[in-house]
Amino acid sequence: MANHTPSALTSLYGPYYKYLKALLFGKGVSGSEGLNHDSLLPAITTPLAEHGSAELSSMDCLLFSYFMILIFQLGKARIAAYSAFALEFLTSPELSSSHESLADLANNVNLDLLSGILVQEFSSVKAEQIPPERRIWLLGHFIALHRLQNRSKLDPEFLRALSLQLSSSASSIMGSISLSSLEGLNDATESDDESAKNTPTQLHPFIREQLLSLVDQASITGLLSKFNVDQNEDSTAVDEDASLLSSYALTLLRMFPSRVS
């Protein structure tokens, strides 16, 4: 399956990535002995790769039509792979323990496509089925992948995916116990009590690091720069981008009132 991505297998990507996760982190799966990140990386990333680059000039019309149908099906398979990769693999707490694993994933993941998938998932009820703790790990890994790719530009789709995830996990994060370690976070409210029961008693250092990176000097400078650039653009998308930026900025203010000033 790692070497082929037919659309008939799209429904199997969820169990596929769940099994890879169990193999990689040794969760009692028979045959996982001797397997490591390097040996499993191709199996993890191959379904995420772009397929279909070929010379079309010599194809006749019939073959070209068949080729385009195949590319369409492979595109659907790739979307399904990214969805399963995000919801089954990136939600795993164990992934944060290996910087090498995250760095290798960052080199092979199309963050724009991943962002689009997460926007789709978090705009539906599907994301609500993910346990709060797992959603926070997905958020942390998503931020880490963006940082590891050393992107200086805040793309709208990335911001949209980030904003949706922050909004989805805000009450869980703010309702966690011992959040005084995350400077600037609001105290838990009574409405957060139920969420707190389903979250860790303390934010993991990895998650804390990723969250705080959103409000460091470089990130805030980039956000302000994005505001200035968008206001100077003559485009029908300016209003939509401005609304997105405002929503994201307000989310940061809510979560980090003393840091975003």
Q: How confident is the model at residue 21 (pLDDT cuts 50, 70, 90)?
A: confident
* pLDDT score of 231: 55
Residue in the block written with tokens 């724009």: 112
Give the pLDDT score at 70.
43
Residue 105 contacts residue 147 (beta carbons within 8 Å):
no
Most confident segment among 21-25, 103-107, 184-188: 103-107
pLDDT at 71 over 60: no
Q: How confident is the model at residue 142 (pLDDT cuts 50, 70, 90)?
A: very high
Task: Name 105's Cβ contacts closer than 8 Å, sequence gap at least 6.
Answer: 44, 45, 145
For the cut 90, the answer to whether the pLDDT of residue 162 exceeds it is yes
Helix, strand, coil fractions of the chain, as percent rounded to 5: 70, 0, 30
Domain coordinates of the chain in residue numbers? 1-89, 98-261
Indicate whether 23 pLDDT > 70: yes
The predicted pLDDT at position 107 comes to 93
What is the model's pTM?
0.76
- If DSSP states are collapsed to H, E and C, what string results for 21-78? HHHHCCCCCCCCCCCCHHHHHHHHHHHHCCCCCCCCCCCCHHHHHHHHHHHHHHHHHH
Under 8 Å between Cβ of 145 and 114 = yes
Residue 32 neighbours by CB under 8 Å, 6+ apart = 22, 23, 26
CA angle 160, 154, 77 (to 5 degrees): 55
| For residues 215-225, average pLDDT | 77
CA-based torsion, 33, 36, 39, 41: positive or negative: positive
Location of structure tokens 């694993």: 101
Buried b (16+ CB within 10 A) or exposed e, 153-177: ebeebbbbbbbbbbbbbbbbbbbbe
Give strand ranges (E) for 137-218.
Answer: none
